[in-house]
């Protein structure tokens, strides 16, 4: 069934109204690499803060004992022991944090 001129005009008018009300096309997100790098940096800093908190809470000897237990476990535990091993940044953060924590 072909469209009549009146139907076609009504259709074109509705299409124009919808086009005016349509949201603008989405913009390409810029800085997505920056966002990923920021996320990774926050993740690393959070992990170091977590390690420092555990070091403060458990103490050096207990922390080292737990890491040694992880070294004796399976592959996932050994990977965890590598990540949880003490490092200079964690030690420095723990020393600073100990001043603010009451035992």
d(CA 4, CA 11): 11
Q: Per-residue pLDDT for 103 more than 60? A: no
Please list, residue by residue across 61-92, b when 16 or more beta carbons sit within 10 angstroms of its beta carbon and e when fewer do. Answer: eebeeebeebeeeeeeeeebbeebeeeeebee
d(CA 76, CA 33): 29
The residue among 49 and 16 whose pLDDT is bigger is 49
Is residue 27 within 8 A of residue 65, CB to CB? The reply is no
- Burial (CB < 10 A; 0-12, 13-18, 19+), residue 41, is exposed
* 18 — pLDDT class (breaks 50, 70, 90): confident
Q: Give the global pTM.
A: 0.64
Give me the residue spans of the domains in the chain: 43-103
């Amino acid at each position: 069934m072909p469209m009549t001129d009146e139907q076609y005009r009504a259709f074109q008018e509705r299409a124009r109204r919808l086009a005016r009300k349509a949201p603008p096309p989405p913009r390409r997100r810029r800085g997505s690499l920056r966002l990923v790098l920021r996320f990774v940096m926050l993740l690393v800093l959070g992990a170091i803060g977590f390690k420092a908190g555990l070091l403060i809470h458990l103490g050096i000897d207990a922390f080292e004992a737990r890491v040694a237990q992880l070294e004796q476990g399976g592959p996932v535990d050994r990977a965890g022991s590598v990540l949880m091993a003490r490092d200079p940044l964690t030690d420095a953060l723990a020393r600073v944090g100990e001043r603010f924590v009451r035992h």
